[in-house]
A = this chain, B = another copy of it.
Amino acid sequence: MAVAHPQILAFDVFGTVVDWHGSIAREMAARYPQVDGDAFALAWRKGYQPAMDLVRQGQLGWTRMDALHRRILDGILPQFGLGDMPEAERADLNRVWHRLAPWPDAVAGLQRLKSRFVITPLSNGNIALLTHMAKNAGLPWDCVLSAEVFQAYKPDPRAYLGVADVFGVEAASVMLVAAHHSDLAAARQCGLQTAYVERPLEYGANQPKDVTPQPDNTYHCRDLLDLADQLGC
């Protein structure tokens, strides 16, 4: 049975649309040549799920990703010999997440997909982070949805179902596009269509990621240009 096309494409962002590892490693190398930028990027990202767990489990009230990124940053700086970094510099470094570079296919792929679908982030990043990132990187979103809008971090069903609710459509009319099978599995449980994007170098060239297709996804694509091809854009 042919699956009807979705109307709304909702994108995971960190790792799927933008290269957090490469962007952070490059900025660290430029600013602090004495630090291992690869290790720093991985350490920062390693705190990501545990920080959101504090919110998911109610130990922290609703807290934006900018503030969670900052908590993690403050925790890892001493491990990299940067424990005496002044406040203004910490605040500026924390905004590296607002400056992440897109994967090379992302802007052109989104432009093509936008010609036929509503395209929106559905990221755990906060609205300001996603807005500044889009402005900086030229991501042509039609709107900016975020865990912040629904006050619920993925994989909370409220995030996925919130997109369908906002647009007044059934869950199956929304497709989550992501480079992470766990995110896609949670979306599928809510009735969304799913597209997996291969990002083998998400964790850097030293840690290539298994990008084997999983049959439950509606689409499996090499990158966003490939997704546009498969969707006839």
Question: Which A residues are closer than 8 A to B by beta carbons?
Answer: 66, 114, 118, 120, 126-128, 130-132, 134-135, 141-145, 148-149, 166-168
Contacts and interface: CB of A to CB of B under 8 A. Distances in A.
A167 B118 contact: no
Most buried by B among A66, A135, A143, A168: A143
22 contacts: A118-B131, A118-B132, A120-B131, A127-B143, A127-B145, A127-B166, A128-B166, A128-B167, A128-B168, A130-B143, A131-B142, A131-B143, A131-B167, A134-B143, A135-B142, A141-B143, A142-B144, A143-B143, A143-B144, A144-B144, A148-B166, A149-B149
A135 B118 contact: yes
Nearest to A168: B128
A87 B11 CA distance: 33
A64 to B, nearest CB: 8
Contacts of A131: 118, 120, 142-143, 167
A200 to B, nearest CB: 30
Contacts of A135: 114, 118, 142
